[in-house]
């Protein structure tokens, strides 16, 4: 009997994963849409209905193992419309939508699910999802990825069922809520087939903590210069990874980044999880530096160095990737402008409602959850508190200046009360 997989989501991530599950597991794959409330989701449903397939292509030939097309076994028009039995439930939506998504699925479906895969969780998502499912499916296994496997996009808005993966991560971490997991083995084998190195760790929250954006995005996106660019725009482009004044990176920003890393490390230690050597993770698993820029002993000793040396090394790391140090210079000696990633400004969706870009809104949710973990564990997080307060103040200021704009809920400070309750329940049972 074929494995049956239900993917919650209809975006590029969902399509790429669906193709992989079909190609390597010979699974029957169904998708769940929000076509009754989302114009983008409805376009996906209509496109699949007309074409009869979803398709994944790649930008680079070395990633051909990710390509393929498949016919979904079903594309449900809404969460409530889902029926049938599924072996694996894949949450390919943003982490802030996990609990709301699960609560809209029929209990009869959830009761039959053996395992749930969290594709892009935050630190604590595994606890939250298990607590949310406790009364419906207390024995469910929840598996967390450190992050999504790559960078996948829709390249033609008229064909949302066809996606392209532009790049693949260097390394992923997987962690399960159960000690012995057939699905962990299965997923590790799948990722091995596409040449993606995997480390299976003993605790799901360890896997969730192996995502550098948790540590660096709040400082990069929740500073006054970045918030100005996001909410009000700038006369010329303002770049996420450049030094001030081309971008937000200053010594103060680096100080805030290091402080947040320390606070997350304290939370992990309280949960008996090994903290991250942030510098090593950045250099080895994100973007490498030339050995002339920084010696390996500094990277290895990073956690034991004085604070001022840690901040110096983090600053050097960002200067070392202002250009792509491994690119070929042009005739004038200029290397690829690696750091020229502009801040995205707030924009209107197809329904005319103003929305905040995924960065920083997704980072806001993630950081609130980390703050909630700290509070539940009685760990002070003064830097995280400052970053969140700064972001929420920017929301309130924008709302007071633009009271008549049609805005999404993203523009209002949120407590995420359901998820915070789940954190408390999850930690009590941990």
What does the alpha-carbon distance between residue 94 and residue 316 come to, in Å, rounded to a whole number?
Answer: 32
Strands (E) located in 21-77: 28-32, 54-58, 68-70, 74-76
What does the alpha-carbon distance between residue 249 and residue 223 come to, in Å, rounded to a whole number?
Answer: 9
- In our burial notation (b when 16+ CB lie closer than 10 A, e otherwise), range 377-404 reads eeeebebbeebbebbbebbeebeeeeee
**Quick one: which of 92, 124, 280 has its CA closest to 206?**
124
What Cα–Cα distance (Å) separates residue 87 from each residue in 11, 84, 99, 116? 21, 10, 19, 9
Is the C-alpha dihedral spanning 166, 362, 185, 271 positive or negative? Answer: positive
Count the neighbouring beta carbons within 10 Å of the beta carbon of residue 3: 15
Residues 6+ apart with CB under 8 A from 304: none
CB 70 within 8 Å of CB 22: yes
The pair of three-digit structure tokens given for residue 93, joined into one six-digit string: 């939506």
Q: Could you say which DSSP state residue 342 is in?
A: B
Residues 6+ apart with CB under 8 A from 204: 126, 127, 142, 143, 144, 175, 176, 177
Active site amino acids: 217
**Quick one: which of 72, 25, 54, 28 has its CA closest to 192?**
25
């Amino acid at each position: 009997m074929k494995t049956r997989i239900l993917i919650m989501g209809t975006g590029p991530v969902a399509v790429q994963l669906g193709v992989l599950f079909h190609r390597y597991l010979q699974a029957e794959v169904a998708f769940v849409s929000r076509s009754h409330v989302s114009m983008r989701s409805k376009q996906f449903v209509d496109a699949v209905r007309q074409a009869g397939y979803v398709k994944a292509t790649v930008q680079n030939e070395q990633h051909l193992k990710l390509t393929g097309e498949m016919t979904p076994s079903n594309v449900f028009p809404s969460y409530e419309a889902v029926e049938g039995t599924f072996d694996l439930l894949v949450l390919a939506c943003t982490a802030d939508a996990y609990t709301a998504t699960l609560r809209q699925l029929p209990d009869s479906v959830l009761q039959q699910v053996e395992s749930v895969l969290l594709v892009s969780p935050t630190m604590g998502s595994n606890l939250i999802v298990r607590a949310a499912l406790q009364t419906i499916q207390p024995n469910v296994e929840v598996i967390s990825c450190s992050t999504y496997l790559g960078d996948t996009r829709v390249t033609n808005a008229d064909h949302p069922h066809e996606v392209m993966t532009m790049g693949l991560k260097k390394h992923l971490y997987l962690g399960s809520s159960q000690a012995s997991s057939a699905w962990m083995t299965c997923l590790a084998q799948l990722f091995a087939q596409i040449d993606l190195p995997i480390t299976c760790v003993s605790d799901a929250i360890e896997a969730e903590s192996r995502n550098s954006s948790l540590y660096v995005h709040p400082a990069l996106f929740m500073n006054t210069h970045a918030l100005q660019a996001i909410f009000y725009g700038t006369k010329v482009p303002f770049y996420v990874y450049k030094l001030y004044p081309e971008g937000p990176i200053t010594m103060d920003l680096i100080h805030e980044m290091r402080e947040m890393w320390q606070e997350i490390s304290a939370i992990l230690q309280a949960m008996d999880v090994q903290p991250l050597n942030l510098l090593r993770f950045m250099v080895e698993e994100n973007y490498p530096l030339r050995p002339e820029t920084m010696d390996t002993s500094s990277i290895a000793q990073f956690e034991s160095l004085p604070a001022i040396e840690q901040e110096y090394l983090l600053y050097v790391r960002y200067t070392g990737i202002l250009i792509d140090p491994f690119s070929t210079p042009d005739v004038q000696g200029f290397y690829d402008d690696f750091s020229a990633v502009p801040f995205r400004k707030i924009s209107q969706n197809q329904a005319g409602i103003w929305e905040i870009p995924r960065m920083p809104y997704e980072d806001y949710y993630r950081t609130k959850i980390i703050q909630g973990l700290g509070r539940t564990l009685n760990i002070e997080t003064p830097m995280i508190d400052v970053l969140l307060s700064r972001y929420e103040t920017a929301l309130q200021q924008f709302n007071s200046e633009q009271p008549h704009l049609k805005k999404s809920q993203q523009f209002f400070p949120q407590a995420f009360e359901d998820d915070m309750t789940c954190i408390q329940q999850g930690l009590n049972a941990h």
